Structures are given as C-alpha cells and as structure tokens.
Structure 1
C-alpha cells in the first residue's frame, strides 16, 4: 500500500494537470471585462475607450494590448448596427444617446485553463475552449442582440477559437472561422500572438461589414415540403386508380 503522503500527491495529479505556467483559470475565476475585476485584464485603455481585451497572464506586452484594444474599439464603431432597435447599438455617452456601434468583438487570452485530463486530445481542447467561451459570453454580456464575438486564446496549447453569439454567427460562419484560423495557424504555433490577433481582427471586421448568411425559415420549409408531398401523393393515386368507365 502506498504511503499516505504519496497517495495524496497522486490524488492531486488530475487537478494539477492543467497547471503548467501560473494560474489554470476557470471561467468563473476569469476577470469580468466590464466588472470590478477588469483591472486584472492588463491594458492601458484611453479614457474614451471601453476595454475589449483581457490578458491577466500578461501573454502580450502593454503596448500590444493597447493597440489591439484600439483596433477592437474602432471595429465596434465602424461596423453596422445589426439589432432591430437602434437603441440597442447606442453607446449612451451623451444626451443624444451616444455614437452608434455595431458588433462588439473582445479577446480572452490566458496561459492555461483548468482541466482534469492529463493528456487532452484536440477534441478535448475544443470542447473545453467552447465551454469556457459559452460561460464568458453570459458573464461578460457584451452586445445587446447577439452581436458579440469572443476571440479565445489558450497559449499553452496554441489554441485559438472564434466564438460568435447567435446574430454574429450569421456574419462569421463556421466555414469563415475555419478559414480565418487556418490563415494564422503558423503565427499561433510560433507564439506570434500579436500578429495573429491583428490578422484575425482584420478578417472578422471584413466579414462583419459584409452580408449575413441567409437563413431558411424552417417552418416555411416544412410547410412547402408537406404540400409538395401531398400533391405528389395525389397525383400518384389519381394516375394509378382504375378508370371508372372501364368497369361498365
């Protein structure tokens, strides 16, 4: 039987497996970019800008963080308001309602995420990253009509994902996100995060200023299909029924 101290150490291994450098974050512990803990995000933000990037582990230097934050601030002001009510896109900075903004893109950057898996697969990393972003989307509550996007960077595993809210997903589709991330993969693998994020922000900005993907109304589609099936069955029955005149 193993000595108690060694047994206790082995029991701790799963909990420590996600800790390689510094803190292994959970989404609950990660700073709120608009809350009281935002000061942990490390950014020199001008007084006329909101905070759009949270890098508590200091993966980027202050100058890079400041420039990326300025890019994201400009993206917000230079993309169209996608919400049905224009008031949902108002900055509320003056008596006239403030300048209108469009999409709100933010960056969550960290060294490590807390995991219980010692050697995670690529799928494990994707599932954990998406779960982290899903929690942050609710916690940060950026955008007022599903017009927010989170760019998530997990530095230790060179993992980056783009997580759009429901409306933003129509402008930056799954295929477009894959193409954007594929283009910067070499930069990410080389830890050139500032260059990679600059490219990603530029690509997202172009997509957000384009046309949204047209969604098919599933209710209407179901009705059309049902009517089509009914018409087809009617024609088949009519064509295969015996001619009444032939019976006499």
Structure 2
C-alpha cells in the first residue's frame, strides 16, 4: 500500500481557534490509519471530510484546485490551510495520481483545453466541455486513472446518476484489485461506500472513527426513506 498513515503536527496557538482547526474532527486528530486500498470519508457537511482530503492532496503535491502534480492552474480556493500541518507516512512514496474536486471540475476541464489537443488523449480524445457533466467525469475516471497511483476524490457522485455511480464503483474495484492503486474518497453516496473491503471513517463525532457500512447515516436514512417514503413525506410537508 502507498499512503499508510497520516498525523497532525502541533498546531500553533494563534491559529487553533481558526477554521479549519476549530472543526472537532480536525482539532482532535492525532493519527489516522489509511492502510486499506479504498477508504471513504463520510459525515455531514462541514465535518472536515473535504478539508482533510484537500490537505492530503497538498502534501502529495497535487494541485489543490484539482488535478495531478503537473496541472498548474490557479483558483481563489487554491492552497490548503491544513496541508502544511499534515504529516504523511508512505510505503512506498508515490507521486502519480489525481485529486478530483467536483466543485472545480469545470475549471479543470478549461485548463485541459488550454493545454491543447495533445492533452486530450489522456481524457478520451474529446474535450471534457463537449460532454455532459456525468460523461466527462467517467471519461476522466476511465482514461486518466491507472495503476501505480493514489486517487483522491471529493464527492465524485455529484455529477453521476445511480447507474453511473455503479460504473465508477467498477472502475475503483478493477484498479484497486490490481494492488497498485489506492483511493481515498469523501462521499455522501451509499452506492459508492458499499465497495467491498473498504474502510469507512465517520467524521460526525468529536473524533474520526471507523464505522460499519450499515451503521452510516447515509445507509440508514436512504433505506428507511425508500421503505417508508409516505411517512417521511408526511413529516416533511406537514404544517
């Protein structure tokens, strides 16, 4: 495995109360075991999932606006306040891979177009802007992702239908089963987090903790809603 563990360095007192260090999951972070080939970060919005994933991308050398080590374009959100305080333990160290930010994918696609036609061969031979959002995501997954890499995905389900989420699940399985690809994924999708053998880390509490798939809010609420739709709708819409 590549990235085996991460830990947080001492945080200076003058920033301890600032965002993102004030988030409980970040404030109380000591060490985190990442030895599984597929790890999911799950939890409510604002619990630190994407913040920690971005910090890993920063320390890995990926563009925090999205992309790999050789994708150089800037956005207002580029950079990572947490990244410089993170320590990563590798075995062995890898530099190949990709950081997907769903919210900045449009800007990444524009960056690829700016690089010229030769760059499109790594993304299916067609501009990502000339495909639907979901098709562009799948073109990235199937053409840009490969072996010997670490892939950091921030809410990849954002543009994917349930059927396309299952297609991504197959891509993840095929790559990680080779033993030469590692995935760390922040997600709200109960479809994606069903990947067999994956480690699921819950950010909802004061500390980041392991959680079983069937114990996640995403699974429980989705299953209960589908089984008791009328009851949920009555409660939601009552005066």
TM category, shorter:
under 0.3
More helix by share: 1
Normalised TM-score (structure 1): 0.24
Q: Calculate the TM-score normalised by the size of structure 2.
A: 0.25
- Whichever of the two has the greater Rg, that structure is 1
